[in-house]
Structure formats: C-alpha cells, structure tokens
C-alpha cells in the first residue's frame, strides 16, 4: 500500500511537470514567432518560463527520489563492510530529511512574507513562485518518509514470517 501511494504521487507529479514544461514550450515558441514575424512579443514570457520551470523541476523531484534516480557516489562502497554502508545511508537519509524540513520551513516563511509583493512581468503575488520550494520539499519529504516506512514494514513482515 505504501508503495502504491508513493507511485501515484510520483506519477501525478510527472504528469503535472510534463504539462508545465509543455506550457513553457508553447509560450516560448509563441514569443519567438511574435518577435521574428511581428516585431513584438509577450512581455511576461521569460518570467513565466522561469517560474514554471522551477515549479516543474521541484514537483517532479519527488519522482526522482521515489525511483532511486538520484546521483550517488558509490565508488568506495566496495571497500567498506556492508553494515557500515547501510548505517552511512541511514545517517545520510536522516540528515537529508532535516535539510528538507529546513528548506520547507524557510520556503514557507519566505512565501508567506511575500504575499503582497507582485512580480515585475506577470504581476502575480510572489507567493506563487515562492510556494514552489515548500511544495517541492513537502513532496520529497513525503517520498522519503514513505520509503523509510516501507523498510520498517518489510522488516516486520520478515519477523512475522519466522
């Protein structure tokens, strides 16, 4: 069950990120065509592209965590005992969870402090671009927590089978 929850969240995130990237392509292609053929353009296109790409990357990042596709430096792992590598990985995950929680909290504070300030091109509240950080961090945190719960769940299943 935990696995399917994480998979669904990752899949929905991938679909949303794809739609966001598609909208960036459409807006930027329109911008190029307007500049080339009509000597004009969309004043907010570059700002839109910047914020939407940030949102898409932060949203889809949880799928990368879910699928274990993060870059790992494991060159020296074969020199160490397997038990040491497992403990090191647990420590890394705890540190990473702390960093993600800190990023979530500071991102949330920054977003809430910028509610009444507007962006230059789109004239939207800075809340919208800044919310990408806490939303992305919350999704990544959720995936990490689901993975940790799955590990404990597997250990309990092994104990019950004995």
| CA atoms of 108 and 78, how far apart (whole Å) | 40
Each residue's pLDDT expressed in tens, for the chain with a length of 162 residues: 777 899 999 999 999 999 999 999 999 999 999 999 999 999 999 999 999 999 999 999 999 999 988 888 888 888 989 888 888 888 888 899 999 999 999 999 999 999 999 999 999 999 999 999 999 999 999 999 998 888 777 766 554 544
| CA atoms of 55 and 75, how far apart (whole Å) | 33
| CA atoms of 122 and 134, how far apart (whole Å) | 21
Domain residue spans of the chain: 2-156
């Amino acid at each position: 069950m935990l696995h399917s929850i994480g998979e669904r969240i990752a899949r929905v995130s991938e679909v949303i990120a794809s739609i966001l990237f598609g909208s960036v392509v459409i807006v930027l292609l329109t911008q190029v065509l307007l500049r080339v053929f009509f000597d004009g353009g969309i004043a907010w296109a570059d700002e839109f592209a910047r914020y939407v790409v940030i949102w898409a990357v932060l949203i889809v990042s949880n799928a990368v965590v879910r699928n274990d596709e993060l870059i790992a430096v494991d060159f020296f792992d074969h020199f160490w005992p397997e038990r040491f590598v497992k403990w090191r990985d647990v420590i890394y995950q705890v540190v990473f969870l702390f960093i993600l929680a800190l990023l979530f909290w500071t991102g949330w504070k920054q977003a809430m402090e910028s509610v009444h300030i507007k962006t230059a091109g789109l004239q939207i509240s800075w809340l919208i671009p800044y919310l990408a950080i806490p939303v992305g961090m919350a999704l990544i945190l959720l995936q990490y927590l689901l993975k940790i719960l799955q590990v404990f769940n597997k250990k309990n299943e092994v104990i019950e089978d004995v």
